[in-house]
Amino acid sequence: MKILLFGSQITIGGAQRVLLDQADWFHSQGQEVMAVFYYDKDGLAEHWQRQHPFPIHVLASYQAGSPVANALRLSQAVLHLRSAIREFQPDVIETFTHDATLFGLPVAAGLNVPVRVAAHHGQFKSLSPLKQKLHSALINSNACDRLVCVSERALNQALAERCKREKISLIYNGIRPIEKNAQLRAETRKALNLNDSDQLVLNVGRLVPEKAQQLLVQAAADVIRQVPNARFAIAGEGPLRESLQNQIEELELTGRFRLLGNRDDIPALLNAADLFVLYSETEGMPISLMEAMSVGLPVIASDLEGCRSLIQDAESGVLLPFGYVEQLAEAIVERLTADSAVNMEMGQRAALTIRTEFTLERSLNKMLALFEDIQRKKSGHRRSRPNRHF
């Protein structure tokens, strides 16, 4: 089976991570894969191509411009996508963001790609009202065979946007579990200049408003007053870096709270950490939380639908209502001062949850079965597949 995976931009983000993980897994299973992106926002295309065994194509350059220039670039990208589809002749196209869906599925339908699937990670509110209506209409049309929702929250949002229930499948995200490694922990903690007694609280995510890392910085000041050996770090980059750094300096947390930027050694950082915190305002099915749980870390997360799908409160992690800095600080202090055996048991339960229910293999076997089922049913409506007009 030939599978084309289409994303809107090359950058460090959850949708991009899911796309690349899917592409790697499909390729490992003997499928022929191509990854296509509208533009390369962070200049990572060559680096990604060296890391992955399947072709990665970029349709247009990234640059801010006037509406006319943007429209021209979009029209050129459409032509390039048509050329890529004609050359690759995929059996399946899967789109990974709402913009990619609005852009990619009509082109794929016009070229008679047999199976056309959109993935939904639960961020409809980021779309303009017009785009929301267009997106829902597209999902309900013949241009889309199925909308795959990665969490209950995403499914509920899709239904609220009037996507037809019969067009929706629920397939949770999955990950490759991260192994606990004592040597890697020691090496990474040394590189981070951590003492043996230091306790590292880690957050992984883009520095954007919905991740609400300013609340973690605010809580850290209170935590460190009670637990002097606590240290904090965020792995990620984004537009809020300067304001977060200013907040760290204003609260006199310099040297105790670090912004690590984009990192390609997340497994090492998770091994180095003692506690993982994801206190976001909104989440779909958070990959970073799943990875932290898989390595056996105790975790604290916002009480959101996607997080509730992963965590049994007080058993495999701690769920907190969003927006209460004092409560967040108290929860962090409680975990950092708890008996190590208690935290270990919580981490073990978290790891078991991920390794039994949320693996990449489990998720993508379901996705591949969905592709095959759609292809089989559509082929059943005709005795032979018609010529595809590439």
Residues 326/330/333/337 CA torsion (nearest 10 deg): 160
What is the longest distance spanned by two Cα atoms in the chain? 73
pLDDT tens digits, 36-85: 999 998 889 999 999 999 999 999 877 666 777 778 888 889 999 999 99
Is the confidence at residue 390, as pLDDT, over 50?
no
Residue 388 has pLDDT above 60, yes or no: no
pLDDT of residue 389: 44
Q: How confident is the model at residue 128 (pLDDT cuts 50, 70, 90)?
A: confident
3-class SS at 153?
A: helix
Q: In this structure, what DSSP letter does residue 207 have? A: S
pLDDT in tens, 2-39: 999 999 999 888 889 899 999 999 999 999 999 999 99
User: Are 2-174+359-380 and 182-357 in the same CATH fold?
Assistant: yes
User: Mean pLDDT in the chain?
Assistant: 93
Cα separation values, 99 from 22, 69, 106, 165, Å: 19, 18, 12, 21
Which residues have a Cβ under 8 Å from the Cβ of 326 and sit 6 or more positions away? Answer: 219, 222
User: Where do the structural domains in the chain lie, given as residue ranges?
Assistant: 2-174+359-380, 182-357
What is the spatial distance between Cα 290 and Cα 114, in angstroms, rounded to a whole number? 33
What mean pLDDT do residues 104-127 have?
87
pTM of the model: 0.88
Backbone CA torsion sign across 122, 4, 40, 42: positive
Nearest to 77 by CA among 44, 43, 39, 111: 39
Query: CB 197: neighbour CB atoms within 10 A?
Result: 7
CATH number of this structure's domain 2-174+359-380 = 3.40.50.2000
Q: Assign residue 179 a region: left if phi > 0, alpha if psi is -120 to 50, beta otherwise?
A: beta
pLDDT tens digits along 257-296? 999 999 989 999 999 999 999 999 998 889 999 999 999 9
Check residue 375 and give its pLDDT: 96
C-alpha separations of 285 from 252, 327, 328 in Å = 34, 23, 21
Just give the CATH number of 182-357.
Answer: 3.40.50.2000
